[in-house]
Amino acid sequence: MLPISLIVLTYNEAANIARCLDSVSFAAEKIVLDCGSEDDTRAIALAHGARVVEQPWLGYGAQRNFGSTLASHDWIISLDADEALTPKLVSVLERGLPELLESAAAAGVLFRTGWFMGKPMHWYRPMVHERKPRIYHRRRACWSEARVHESLQYEGGEVSFEPPFMHYLNPTLVHHQLKYLRYAELKALDWRERGRASRPYGWPAVFVLTFLKDYLLRLAVLDGARGWIAAYMAADYALYKRMRLYEMRSFERSVELAADELRAHRLQR
């Protein structure tokens, strides 16, 4: 065991949490920070060696930062419940982590490959070899306070580890679309608070340019039909969150109505 704490955020992750926890066999401590799961997430996490802490949802960045304060070790590895290390990566980490843990570096960088529509992607850049700083010293790094799409903020050295870990994105396109609905809602709320402008005249260009960027420049075209679908969904997400911001501005009660609907479908924490 290495003196590092694994922290995983959960909400109704019974289908994923065991795989995630078991994949990090070298961590001396495993913490599951749960925000009100209604399935067997907590029981499964306990059975797989984790300490479970219940914490009402603070937003992705704030929730991760709160989790860092619970750790017994300064070095932390942060994974989502639908992610898992591969045996090859574990072997590399077991050899390389002792040196990192003794160093003055701030972070360790991992690389993530997405499992999409039943199998891994091979070319589409946002889902293949995606750079993810996920190992960090909690006194030298912290997470941005964004509601969604948070990032690890740090200054100082970093060390990269290969090969990639796996992101088991969503079992079906239905799950994928529902997740995008929740993410878009959080992103639009962040934009509204920051006073970001909504420009309807630019919406067609947002969709077209996002699709072309992902399909051609980010190589989704090489992943065949799955790549086309991924690029389309990225463009749809880019457009939808802008339309949702416009609706929040022009129909303020939609924020409350949407929150009720998302909660009814267990999409709102």
Please say whether the beta carbons of 152 and 141 come within 8 A.
yes
Spatial distance between the Cα atoms of 80 and 203, rounded to a whole number of angstroms: 32
The residue type of 107 is: A
Helix (H, G, I), strand (E, B) or coil at 77: strand
Return the pLDDT at 164: 95
Q: What angle do CA 78, 233, 170 make, to 5 degrees?
A: 45
Query: How many Å apart are CA 90 and CA 163, to the nearest integer?
Result: 9
Residues 160-189 have a mean pLDDT of 94
Q: What percent of the chain has pLDDT over 70?
A: 99
Average pLDDT over residues 45-67: 96
136, 65 Cβ separation under 8 angstroms = no
List, in sequence order, the alpha helices (H) in the chain: 17-23, 41-47, 60-70, 87-101, 173-194, 203-212, 224-250, 253-264
Band of pLDDT at residue 21, cut at 50, 70 and 90: very high
Residue type, position 170, single letter: N
What's the rounded Cα separation, in Å, for the pair 176 and 180?
Answer: 6
pLDDT of residue 266: 75
Work out the percent of the chain whose per-residue pLDDT is above 90: 93
d(CA 160, CA 194): 34
At residue 90, does pLDDT exceed 80? yes
What pTM was computed for the model?
Answer: 0.91
Q: Is the pLDDT of residue 268 over 80?
A: no
89 has a pLDDT exceeding 80: yes
First to last CA, the chain: 34
Average pLDDT, the chain: 96
pLDDT category, 182, cuts 50, 70, 90?
very high
215 closest CA partner among 229, 201, 199: 229
